[in-house]
């Protein structure tokens, strides 16, 4: 209470200092660094570029500036001997607490002014997808906490060392560690948090949750250290050790410090955000589990209830098994780490279940035994917070359960079967999901979502069906637009916040053009056999993917920033073209490139998809555009790659770090599929007599009779259809 | 208010013994001069009194209770001007005093600040930034902050440093007036500062208290030990190992005023001044370093040196 009474005077004194004013002004302008110089969030959503990066850069600058201010303020008071006056009135440790509180208040004021001042700027740049809550949450979490951490570290270092120079070194070491050794560890980069992206159209709840947890751990840690260091403040002319012992006589402070440090350790070690998946990505032990030959799964009914306030999910699945062995059988399920099994009943009887600690690719093994009965109905109840894969902890936020967005995949929805296959004849999965009334569900598959009931608590129950255990579900504030095409109806789902942008680029027309072009040139894909396909915009997933009846692309492709960038002629709407074309090449026709190996050559679904996209762009935007944005681009990429020193001198690759080597190898893989193969196809087109002839060949290939044993379209099939040899397509 | 030192000693972490077995009682109201050469232990004693230091041995009692227990109460009653203090240069005089008033939690800070600014004659500079003040003006700001809130206990460590003669007289009188109803402890090595205004003196050297009593008691202790003679070749004060208090050019030569346990035969006895008595005490104390004070030594003259011994023998 006494310190609160002293605070206004100290605060006003601090504000009158030129150094304080300079620090405040510099911090206020520091977010500009995030727009021009320091851009840790690479994803090109508008909020990543104009909210996250400025806030994070401001946090780094604020950490240093307010850390330095703290050190200089502490040092100055001792150096100028003002403390002789103040210490005679107020105990030095209380005065230090008041002074630190005043610094915190100054930082808070600076943060408030900064966030408010940058609000109109961010809003102007971000445009219609700007979200106030994301803006303020970013400035509070990304920036504000870093200011506080800078002050805590600086003050702690000064209280212990009593040296300005040493304290500055400690402060800088913190920043250096954050930017180097800890940069890729989400729990350690305490100043500049690892943020993959800030979504424009959907929620950032999961990202903020993760950052908040990390910041909480550090706040507890630094708070504990700060309290301990406060005991070292020299008093009564004593030495460091004697002052500490004097301060520690009252056990409250050491006890509080130890409590905070204990909590910090707990929150660090028991963090609920990421799992403990095996870090060795070559281990695929769950994929190698042999299937039981005499047990089949004939059906699955799942009912899930996401708790959008807590970010958790509870579910109950009813599996139906056909056990032809006449004996008990041990079944293995893959569940999402973070979920716990509440109940397991086989034919109404509770069965023992064992949840293995081992985790792999975000899956944890559940083991239970079903009775010898020929038909078994297994009920699994589960609940929890879906943790994300620690091996891609930098991408946290893709999986989310919040008021504005839900993204759940596979085992997040229902435990996966690890050693039982589904009955191909009869298996059916029915999922029911209870959602807030404002949310529109989109299941990423052929099945349509049906409204089952509107519940008294304001929620709605939806149902969707499928023929596999796994499914993907999105839900959010979606706009659904139906586009009638020659192939069928495209149900186009995109975030409501993006409506203005979508209307502006006339995306509906583009969709129709693509669908009509591909249907005319290649035929109707099997995935649209029911007469429609879903086109779904999702939160950032770095690209897009497709499955029968659905094609997904992430919001980065639709940002105003991206769509209006003239240097990205082949991006934006053309990414959507690309993903749509996958309904033909990759889904309609399968390629044996599921686990692509660059040593097998460039042949994959990507080559034909990129080539087809080029042809559509040519038809839409003209030959010059297509030449410049596709053919020239492929050639340039190939040429620059071939000029790369390490490609020309592969013997030096071993001297590079694993990351650098991996980057070059992955670059080669992408280049071969996205640049080399399209050029080969272009050469094939020329050799077979032009576009028309080539289109006919592709039509035949697309509509050929499939061998169920080997449904894949191989490079040899393609060459045979063209009447060409492999060497004919060698590029100069 | 009563402050009592009981067998108080302080040894710094570097091993230096700054205060040795000091015993003393200080009662309000009163104006007490603390005299001693540089490095005698005056500032250390003051820091102990304001609880900036903890004694190595012994204790300080405030109104009969240990200072550690009454530290907060002491700080609320305290006005302290340390030696070599600093100020916040970025603030104006009024702002700084406002700040100090906030620390002292003075109920009506504006009036209190206005009052002390008037007392130290800084009205014209009240809005000036402290960085623009002269050394003397800064010292006055220091005095003003000590006077803020009419504290019951005022401790000034070398308050007149940097002040011009006129200001020194002015502040001496101010301190004297202030002491009317409070306890004021004035530390200095300038005899003039305490001569006219202090009703009690404490002399300290080498960390030991040599004297505690009234100025007249201190002067009396030097009667018969102050004299003067004309310095001639082969008859200098230095050659006789005498403590010279002044040298005056006269028509007969340089008249040396000296203090000594035994005056030379050719010396003319002189009426001792406070400065003579102080120097005599210090010179004797340097030889003997006697420290022990009786428990009832509170503000009574202690006959330090040979006279004291004679008195005890009688």
Q: Is A84 on the interface with B (CB under 8 A)?
A: yes
Residues A606 and A563 in one domain: no
pLDDT band at A359 (very low <50, low <70, confident <90, very high): very high
Residues A466 and A548 in one domain: no
More confident of the two residues A664 and A15? A15
Lowest mean pLDDT among A272-286, A341-355, B173-187: B173-187
pLDDT band at A542 (very low <50, low <70, confident <90, very high): confident
pLDDT band at B302 (very low <50, low <70, confident <90, very high): very low
Residues A515 and A607 in one domain: no
More confident of the two residues B277 and A216? A216
Q: Can you give the CATH number for the domain in which A495 is found? A: 1.10.390.10
Task: Establish whether this prediction's ipTM goes over 0.95.
Answer: no
- What per-residue confidence (pLDDT) applies to A180? 93
Residues A119 and A261 in one domain: yes
Distance from CA of B52 to the nearest CA of A (A): 5
**Percent of chain A having pLDDT more than 90?**
62
- Cβ(A495)–Cβ(A442) below 8 Å: no
pLDDT band at A697 (very low <50, low <70, confident <90, very high): very high
Asked if residue A526 has pLDDT above 70, the reply is no
Residue-wise pLDDT tens digits, A443-459: 988 778 999 999 999 99
- What per-residue confidence (pLDDT) applies to B305? 36
CB contact under 8 A, A237 and B52: yes
Residue-wise pLDDT tens digits, B251-263: 888 888 888 888 8
- CB-CB neighbors (< 8 A) of A6 in chain B: 102-103, 105
Q: Is A5 on the interface with B (CB under 8 A)?
A: yes
Residues A461 and A504 in one domain: no
The answer as to whether A275 is a domain residue is no
Closest C-alpha among A517, A555, A541, A685 to residue A607: A685
Q: What's the number of domains chain A is made of?
A: 4
**Chain B from 71 to 90: CB within 8 A of any A CB:** 71, 75, 78, 80, 82, 84-90
The answer as to whether A277 is a domain residue is no
- Cβ(B264)–Cβ(B240) below 8 Å: yes
Asked if residue A599 has pLDDT above 60, the reply is no
- What per-residue confidence (pLDDT) applies to A567? 38
Residues A262 and A297 in one domain: no
Report helix, strand or coil for A44: coil
- What per-residue confidence (pLDDT) applies to A570? 56
Q: Is A239 on the interface with B (CB under 8 A)?
A: yes
- CB-CB neighbors (< 8 A) of A13 in chain B: 88, 91, 95, 99
Distance from CA of B72 to the nearest CA of A (A): 8
Residues A505 and A584 in one domain: yes
The answer as to whether A281 is a domain residue is no
The answer as to whether A52 is a domain residue is yes
B64: left (phi over 0), alpha (psi -120 to 50) or beta: left
CB contact under 8 A, B90 and A88: no
Full set of structural domains in chain B with CATH: 2-217 (3.40.50.300), 224-271 (no CATH)
Distance from CA of B54 to the nearest CA of A (A): 5
Residue-wise pLDDT tens digits, A125-134: 998 889 999 9
- What per-residue confidence (pLDDT) applies to A2? 67
The answer as to whether A552 is a domain residue is yes
Asked if residue B165 has pLDDT above 80, the reply is yes
Asked if residue B311 has pLDDT above 80, the reply is no
Comparing CB atoms, the residue among B53, B87, B90 nearest residue A17 is: B90
Residues A403 and A352 in one domain: yes
Distance from CA of B247 to the nearest CA of A (A): 40
Residues A193 and A299 in one domain: no
pLDDT band at B294 (very low <50, low <70, confident <90, very high): very low
- What per-residue confidence (pLDDT) applies to A544? 66
Of A449, A476, A503, at which residue does a domain stop? Answer: A476
CB contact under 8 A, B54 and A88: no
Asked if residue B15 has pLDDT above 90, the reply is no
Residue-wise pLDDT tens digits, A114-149: 999 999 999 999 988 899 999 999 999 999 999 999
Torsion of CA A257, A263, A268, A272, to 10 degrees: -160
d(CA A406, CA A475): 5
DSSP A289: S
CB contact under 8 A, B86 and A238: no
The answer as to whether A712 is a domain residue is yes
Domain extent at residue A424: 286-476
Comparing CB atoms, the residue among B84, B86, B104 nearest residue A89 is: B104
d(CA A243, CA A177): 31
- CB-CB neighbors (< 8 A) of B104 in chain A: 89
- What per-residue confidence (pLDDT) applies to A309? 92
Q: Is B107 on the interface with A (CB under 8 A)?
A: no
DSSP string, chain B: -EEEEEEEEEE-TTS-EEEEEEEEEEESSEEEEEE--TTSSHHHHHHHHTTSS--SEEEEEETTEETTTTHHHHHHHEEEE-TT----TTSBHHHHHHHHHHHHT-SSHHHHHHHHHHHTT-GGGTTSBGGG--HHHHHHHHHHHHHTT--SEEEEESTTTT--HHHHHHHHHHHHHHTTSSEEEEEES-HHHHHTT-SEEEEEETTEEEEEE-HHHHHHTTTTSEEEEEE-TT--TTTTT-EEEEEEEETTEEEEEEE-SS--TTPEE----HHHHHHHHHHHHHHH------TT-TT-----SHHHHHHHH-
Helices A691-702 and A677-687, axial angle in degrees (round to 10): 110
Asked if residue A158 has pLDDT above 90, the reply is yes
CB contact under 8 A, A85 and B86: yes
- What per-residue confidence (pLDDT) applies to A221? 98
Residues near A292 by Cβ (< 8 Å), separated by ≥ 6? A325, A329, A331, A419, A420
Mean of pLDDT values over A217-233 = 96
d(CA A29, CA A27): 5
Closest C-alpha among B63, B19, B1 to residue B207: B19
pLDDT band at B312 (very low <50, low <70, confident <90, very high): very low
Residue-wise pLDDT tens digits, A708-731: 777 888 888 899 999 999 899 988
Residues A611 and A707 in one domain: yes
Q: Can you give the CATH number for the domain in which A717 is found? A: 1.10.390
Residue-wise pLDDT tens digits, A23-70: 999 999 999 999 999 999 988 889 999 999 999 999 999 999 999 999
- What per-residue confidence (pLDDT) applies to B14? 85
Distance from CA of A280 to the nearest CA of B (A): 57
Q: Is B286 on the interface with A (CB under 8 A)?
A: no
- CB-CB neighbors (< 8 A) of B47 in chain A: 237
Which stretches of A139-237 are DSSP H helices? 145-161, 164-179, 205-230
Residue pairs between chains A and B whose CB atoms are closer than 8 Å: 83
- Residue A43: burial class (beta carbons within 10 Å; 0-12, 13-18, 19+): buried
- What per-residue confidence (pLDDT) applies to A339? 95
Q: Is A249 on the interface with B (CB under 8 A)?
A: no
CB contact under 8 A, A88 and B88: no
* Closest alpha carbon within chain B to A98: B103
Interface test with B, best of A22, A85, A162 (most B CBs within 10 A): A85
Q: Can you give the CATH number for the domain in which A322 is found? A: 2.60.40.1730
Q: Is A132 on the interface with B (CB under 8 A)?
A: no
- Cβ(B285)–Cβ(B205) below 8 Å: yes
Asked if residue B286 has pLDDT above 70, the reply is no
Comparing CB atoms, the residue among B54, B102, B145 nearest residue A6 is: B102
The answer as to whether A343 is a domain residue is yes
Interface test with B, best of A23, A88, A93 (most B CBs within 10 A): A88
* Closest alpha carbon within chain B to A11: B99
The answer as to whether A584 is a domain residue is yes
Residues A345 and A451 in one domain: yes
Comparing CB atoms, the residue among A9, A79, A82 nearest residue B102 is: A9
Residues A634 and A584 in one domain: no
Q: Is A6 on the interface with B (CB under 8 A)?
A: yes
């Amino acid at each position: 209470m006494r310190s609160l009474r002293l605070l206004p005077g100290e605060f006003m004194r601090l504000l009158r200092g030129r150094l304080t004013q300079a620090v405040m002004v510099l911090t206020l302008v520091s977010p500009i660094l995030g727009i021009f110089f320091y851009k840790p969030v690479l994803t090109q959503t508008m909020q990543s570029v104009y909210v996250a990066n400025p806030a994070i850069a401001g946090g780094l600058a604020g950490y240093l500036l307010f850390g330095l201010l703290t050190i200089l303020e502490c040092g100055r008071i001792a150096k100028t001997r003002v403390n002789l006056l103040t210490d005679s009135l107020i105990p030095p440790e209380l005065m230090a607490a008041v002074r630190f509180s005043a610094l915190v208040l100054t930082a808070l004021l600076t943060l408030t002014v900064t966030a408010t001042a940058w609000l109109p700027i961010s809003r102007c740049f971000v445009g219609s997808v700007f979200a106030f809550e994301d803006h303020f949450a970013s400035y509070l979490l990304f920036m504000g906490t870093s200011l506080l951490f800078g002050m805590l570290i600086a003050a702690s270092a000064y209280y212990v060392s009593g040296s300005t120079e040493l304290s500055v070194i400690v402060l800088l070491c913190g920043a250096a560690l954050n930017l180097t050794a800890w940069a890729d560890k989400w729990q350690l980069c305490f100043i500049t948090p690892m943020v993959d992206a800030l979504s424009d159209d959907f929620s950032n709840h999961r990202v903020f949750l993760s950052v908040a947890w990390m910041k909480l751990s550090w706040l507890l840690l630094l708070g504990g250290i700060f309290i301990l260091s406060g005991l070292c403040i020299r008093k009564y002319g004593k030495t460091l050790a004697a002052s500490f012992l004097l301060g520690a006589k009252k056990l409250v402070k050491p006890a509080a410090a130890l409590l905070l440090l204990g909590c910090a350790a707990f929150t660090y070690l028991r963090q609920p955000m990421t799992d403990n998946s095996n870090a060795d990505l070559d281990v695929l032990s769950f994929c190698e589990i042999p299937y039981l030959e005499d047990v089949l799964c004939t059906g699955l009914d799942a009912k899930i209830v996401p708790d959008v306030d807590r970010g958790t999910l509870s579910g109950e699945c009813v599996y139906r098994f056909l056990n032809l062995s006449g004996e008990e059988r041990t079944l293995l399920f893959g569940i999402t780490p973070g979920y716990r099994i509440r109940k397991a009943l086989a034919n109404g009887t509770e069965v023992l279940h064992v949840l293995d600690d081992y985790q792999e690719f975000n899956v944890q093994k559940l083991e239970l035994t079903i009775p010898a009965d020929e038909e078994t109905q297994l009920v699994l109840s589960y609940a929890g917070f879906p943790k994300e894969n620690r091996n891609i902890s930098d991408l946290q936020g893709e999986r989310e359960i919040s008021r504005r967005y839900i993204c759940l995949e596979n085992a997040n929805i229902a435990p996966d079967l690890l050693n039982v296959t589904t009955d191909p004849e009869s298996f059916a999965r029915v999922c029911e999901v209870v959602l807030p009334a404002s949310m529109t569900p989109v299941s990423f598959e052929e099945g349509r979502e049906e409204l089952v009931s509107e519940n008294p608590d304001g929620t709605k129950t939806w149902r969707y069906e499928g023929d596999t255990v796994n499914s993907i579900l999105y839900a959010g504030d979606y706009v659904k637009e139906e586009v009638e095409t020659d192939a069928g109806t495209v149900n186009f789902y995109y975030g409501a916040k993006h409506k203005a942008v979508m209307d502006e680029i006339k995306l509906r027309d583009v969709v129709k053009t693509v669908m009509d072009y591909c249907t005319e040139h290649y035929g109707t894909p099997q995935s649209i056999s029911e007469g429609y396909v879903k086109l779904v915009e999702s939160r950032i997933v770095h690209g897009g993917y497709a499955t029968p009846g659905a094609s997904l692309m992430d919001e980065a492709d639709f940002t105003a920033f991206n769509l209006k960038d003239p240097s990205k002629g082949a991006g934006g709407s053309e990414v959507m073209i690309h993903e749509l074309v996958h309904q033909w090449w990759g889904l309609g026709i399968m390629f044996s490139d599921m686990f692509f190996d660059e040593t097998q050559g460039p042949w994959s679904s990507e080559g034909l998809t990129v080539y087809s996209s080029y042809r559509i762009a040519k038809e839409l935007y003209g030959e010059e555009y297509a030449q410049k944005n596709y053919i020239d681009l492929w050639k340039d990429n190939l040429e620059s790659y071939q000029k790369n020193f390490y490609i020309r001198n592969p013997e030096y690759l071993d001297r590079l770090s694993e990351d650098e080597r991996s980057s070059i190898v992955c670059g080669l893989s992408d280049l071969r599929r996205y640049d080399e193969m399209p050029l080969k196809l272009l050469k094939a087109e020329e050799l077979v007599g032009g576009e028309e002839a080539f289109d006919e060949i592709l039509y035949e290939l697309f509509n050929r009779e499939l061998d169920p044993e080997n449904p894949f379209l191989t490079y040899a099939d393609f060459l045979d259809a063209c009447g060409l040899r492999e060497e004919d397509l060698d590029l100069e | 208010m009563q402050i009592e030192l009981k067998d108080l000693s302080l040894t710094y972490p570097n091993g230096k013994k700054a205060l040795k077995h000091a015993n003393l009682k200080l009662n309000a109201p009163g104006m007490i001069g603390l005299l001693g050469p540089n490095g005698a232990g005056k500032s250390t004693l003051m820091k102990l009194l304001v609880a900036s230091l903890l004694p190595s041995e012994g204790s300080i009692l405030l109104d009969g209770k240990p200072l550690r227990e009454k530290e907060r109460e002491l700080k609320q009653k305290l006005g302290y001007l340390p030696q070599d203090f600093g100020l916040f240069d970025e603030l104006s005089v009024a702002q700084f005093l406002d700040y100090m008033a906030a620390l002292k939690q003075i109920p009506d800070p504006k009036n209190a600040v206005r009052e002390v600014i008037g007392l130290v004659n800084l009205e014209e500079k009240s809005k000036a930034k402290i960085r623009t003040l002269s050394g003397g003006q800064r010292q006055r700001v220091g005095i003003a902050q000590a006077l803020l809130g009419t504290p019951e206990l005022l401790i000034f460590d070398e308050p007149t440093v940097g002040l011009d003669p006129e200001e020194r007289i002015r502040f001496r009188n101010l301190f004297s007036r202030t002491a009317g109803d409070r306890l004021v402890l004035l530390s200095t090595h300038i005899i003039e500062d305490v001569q006219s205004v202090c009703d009690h003196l404490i002399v300290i050297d080498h960390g030991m208290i040599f004297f505690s009593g009234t100025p007249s008691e201190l002067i009396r202790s030097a009667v018969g030990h102050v004299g003067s003679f004309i310095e001639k070749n082969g008859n200098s004060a230095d050659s006789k190992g005498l403590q010279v208090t002044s040298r005056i050019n006269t028509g007969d030569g340089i008249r040396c005023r000296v203090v000594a346990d035994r005056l030379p035969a050719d010396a003319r006895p002189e009426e001792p001044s406070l400065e003579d008595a102080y120097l005599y005490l210090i010179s004797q104390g340097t030889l003997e370093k006697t420290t022990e004070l009786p428990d009832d030594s509170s503000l009574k003259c202690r006959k330090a040196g040979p006279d004291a011994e004679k008195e005890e023998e009688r």
